[in-house]
Structure 1
Amino acid sequence: MLRSIFLFFSFFVTFISFAQTPFNPETESDFVKATYSKGNLISILGQDLIYPENAAANGTQGDVIFMLKIDESGKLTSIEAKERVSDDLAKQARETIEKLTGAWNPSKVHGKPVDREYLLVFSYKIFYNALPLDYHAMAKKFEDKGKLEKAVRTYDDAIKNYPFEPVYFTMRAKFKKELGDEDGAKADELMAEKMNMEVLAIVEIAQSQSVR
């Protein structure tokens, strides 16, 4: 139990160190997240992205993370690289962001436009002789069999592989609560809430490769 709490707070501190304007549910209950005026941001960013050939050949994968600042007028004022797994992946992701020429609908707190910084995550994954795992389906099978501890471990694996996906924290909280781990469930719910507010989008770029 102590180890799981330590791991959570280690990730929590890392996540907070990225977010310069973190969401505070106590003071910003009426917070409205910024949106891109030209449509669905994930679809727009992902439509031209392909896995860089050299990166795929070298087995390079992981998250490329940028911090974007959108001011109260709806202008994207800065793009800062926070984490990269390779120059090739970071270069492609940055070029995609720079193609966003439309205005933004700014963040609002209590109806007032405000400056805000967000994380934008590009998740590069290579699947060798396999398809992406359906963690929800796996956890549901364990739930149907009454094996809630295994359902929690399924979401442990999901979060390890996709650490910025709030839905995995939400679902793990559900099973922790059913197991009586109220503190663990509350911590996961808080993390899911923070991610929903602080992560602008997660763009997934997948590559399937056959290995003989």
Structure 2
Amino acid sequence: MIKSILFSCSFLITLLSFAQTPFNPEKEADFVKATYPKGNLINILGQDLTYSKEAAANGTEGYVTFLVDIDENGKLISVTPKERVSDLLANPSRAAIDKLTADWTPTKVSGQAVAREYLIVFSYSIFYNSLPIDYHAMAKKYEDKGKIERAVKTYDDAIKNYPYDPVYYTMRANYKRQLEDTEGALADELMAQKINMEVLAVVQIAHSQSVR
């Protein structure tokens, strides 16, 4: 749990600090995110990635993130490391980005192409004698029993473990509204929108490991 909380705090600092301009959803209503024309970006980045055997043996997991700058012509002009839990995980992640050689469809605001920075996230997770938790199913069970507070807490845990997933914020906002926590719901909705606008891709690389 302590590790998850540290990941979440690091994520918030990284995401809130890198943007070129302050996040203002009203001014970005006509925002169109940059896209890679060769196909699904997550699939392209993840197709050759495997979990380092040495990193898995050491129990090394966490986030590797890069800040990428795409100019108004669709050129990827820089890649800057932001989080780097281990070279064993960071080096192949960077190599995956380096394979993105085609020009991008640039960001557009109000129909005009603009330069913009984004995050690309690689999430490395080890599961010991278990499968990933289905937080949506767990929260739904609590909802069916009328335990909305427990549903909110379920998404609290989901966000601590997977802070780059905007869906978890959106779902928690829905439950907060049921509890008449309007301010908390709005904060979650804005964070979900911010992530959708400022994160290009989250690539999940998982490793299952048996422990006796």
For the superposition of Structure 1 and Structure 2, which TM-score range results when normalised by the shorter chain? over 0.9
Equivalent position of 1:81 in the other structure: 81
Contact 2:129 2:209 in 1 (8 A): yes
Q: Measure how far apart 1:103 and its partner are.
A: 1.3
- Alpha-carbon distance between aligned partners in 2 of 1:35 and 1:92, rounded to the nearest angstrom: 22
User: Distance between the aligned counterparts of 1:11 and 1:190, measured in 2?
Assistant: 16
Judging changes above 3 Å, is the alpha-carbon distance between structure 1 residues 141 and 35 closer, same or farther for their aligned structure 2 residues?
Answer: same
Which structure 2 residue ranges, 5 or more long, are not aligned? Answer: 1-7
Q: TM-score by structure 1 length?
A: 0.93
- 1:38 maps to which residue? 38
Question: What is the identity percentage for the equivalent residue pairs of Structure 1 and Structure 2?
Answer: 69
What's the TM-score once normalised by structure 2's chain length? Answer: 0.93
- Map Cα deviations across residues 165-201 of structure 1 (whole Å, 9 max, x no partner): 1000000000001001111001000000000000111
Deviation sequence 1:92-144 (CA, Å, 0-9, x none): 10011001111100000011000000011000000000001110000000000
Q: Secondary structure of 1:104's partner?
A: coil
- State the SS of the aligned residue for 1:206: strand
CA RMSD of aligned residues (A): 1.6
The reply on whether 1:147 has 2:147 as its aligned counterpart is yes
Aligned AA (2:78): S
Contact 2:14 2:82 in 1 (8 A): no
Q: Does 1:124 align with 2:134?
A: no
Between the aligned partners of 2:134 and 2:19, the Cα distance in structure 1 is 29
How far does residue 44 in structure 1 lie from its aligned partner after superposition? 0.5
Report the AA paired with residue 79 of structure 1: V
Tell me, what secondary structure is at the counterpart of 2:155?
helix
Gaps in structure 1 of 5+ consecutive residues: 1-7
**1-side partners of 2:11 and 2:187: how far apart?**
12
User: 5 Å matches for 1:101-112?
Assistant: 101-112=101-112
Residue 4 (structure 2) aligns with: none
Q: Which runs of 4+ in 1 moved over 6 A?
A: 8-11
* Aligned counterpart, 1:4: none
Q: Does the aligned pair in 1 maintain the 2:11–2:164 contact within 8 Å? A: no
**Between Structure 1 and Structure 2, how many residues are aligned?**
205
The change in CA–CA distance for 1:43 and 1:53 in structure 2 (over 3 A counts) is same
SS at match of 1:207: strand
